[in-house]
Copies of this chain bind each other. A is one copy, B any other.
């Protein structure tokens, strides 16, 4: 008989949830890539049924007891880390009354559904009608989680994506960023204003873009025997670690968007493909946090993909795919990959202005959750911050303003910081890699990507959720989150 019966019971329960999660992932991937429109309602109902089942399994009576008993069992380090993550998941799942969970899911689903048309129609008023419910329920949830965890309301929501992250920490690193980023953007723009950049001339056939993206994805180490690359309206990385499903979209007038998007998703995908295989099914094998996840996609897209060395690797592939043109000359391609243009849309933003979009959203959503602002205040806050941070006038433009993201209609408050925390972590990882491999850039330029991938695999991917976020950052890079690396990276790329 096992000497850790309670732990084993919990591990078996995790394994079951993992299996059900597999089916949910594949069904959601199919929904975005293959499903004809007429299948939507039935798919939604099937997924809701599975979500309800998984919620019941996560909150089954007796799990709390089993966790308490397992704490007393003789566990090894990995089991103890797994138990920590199991406890965390259990606390998150049982913290909220089922009625609130259902009301929140319904309100978000209604708001998000209507938002798709309201965004097109620039209909802020119509959006507000649904969004007030989403907001009210998010605040209720934040209040309950905040009491339970003894953290602020916004921290309680952020914790779902970034365990242990505090507002003080976000303020520390974003405050740093705000001090130097606007000046850096201005300097980079001035510098780029003096350069001439040849633009790629299309059309670029979907077939060739697809072959190019697959080639580059393979070059970046994605394992196609355990994954795929397909097309969806909104690119994402889904599926399961054993079968990762990346998506992109192709426009025949612009191949760079799909190519760089694919490189970005490949980073997410490799993190998932390289989670510790023998632990799959257990929470300790999950990706550490959403900032860590974004740090992988941004390692691939920003640290590697938009580097001068990688531009040199891409150039001949573009010539092969689309024929020679001035835009594909390596130095020109590098200029294309690092162009700075303050714009209205977060997802289209360049590396340098992206953090401004994130800071704006962080400040507004934090105020909303803490009760320092109301939904009606959003447009004014948005306009003010866009002007201050990016110098753009957005008055009256809700479509490309506060209606542009799915996060708020979907109730995902607390996620936004992860994007820029991830960009910072990515820079921090690459600073650590460079300490070990001083000629990293030359190696990348020669097509030798192994040093970067090996480091990420050993320090991040295989570590999964073995240690708490801050400890993992420390173990991997020798220091906690340090925005100086991000600054140095950006200054080197945009001013040097």
- Contacting pair B240 A36 (CB below 8 A): no
Expressed in whole angstroms, the Cα–Cα distance for A46 and B19 within the complex equals: 4
Check if B36 sits within 8 Å of A243, measured CB to CB: yes
CA distance A47 to B23 in the complex (A): 8
Contact assessment for A46 and B30 in the assembled complex, using a CB-CB cutoff below 8 Å: no
CB pair A38 B228 closer than 8 Å: no
Q: Chain B residues near A48 (CB, 8 Å)?
A: 19
Render A192-235 as a binary contact track against B, CB cut-off 8 A, 1 for contact.
00000000000000000000000000000001111110000000
Give A167 Cβ to nearest chain B Cβ, in Å: 38
CB closest residue in chain B, given A34: B228
Q: Which residues of B contact A62 (CB under 8 A)?
A: none
A346 at the A/B interface (Cβ < 8 Å)?
A: no
Binding site secondary structure of chain A: helix
> When the two chains form their complex, are residues A27 and B23 in contact, meaning their CB atoms are under 8 A apart?
yes
Cβ-based interface call for A22 (8 A): yes
Given contacts A16-B49, A42-B243, A46-B20, contact A30 B26 (CB under 8 A): yes
Closest CB-CB distance, A93 to chain B, in whole Å? 19
> Is A35 engaged at the interface, CB distance under 8 Å to the other chain?
yes
8 A Cβ contacts from A241-266 to B? 241-243
Contact, CB under 8 Å: B240 / A39: yes
Contacting pair A38 B225 (CB below 8 A): yes
**Is A323 interfacial (CB-CB < 8 Å)?**
no
Kindly state whether residue A37 has any CB partner on chain B within 8 Å: yes
Name the residue among A39, A43, A50, A242 with the largest chain B CB count within 10 angstroms. A39
Task: Report 15 cross-chain contacts, Cβ distance below 8 Å, ordered by A residue.
Answer: A19-B46, A19-B49, A20-B49, A22-B45, A23-B23, A26-B30, A26-B43, A30-B30, A34-B228, A38-B226, A38-B242, A39-B226, A39-B240, A42-B243, A53-B53
- A-side interface residues toward B, CB under 8 Å? 16, 19-20, 22-24, 26-27, 30, 34-39, 41-43, 45-50, 53, 223-228, 239-243, 280
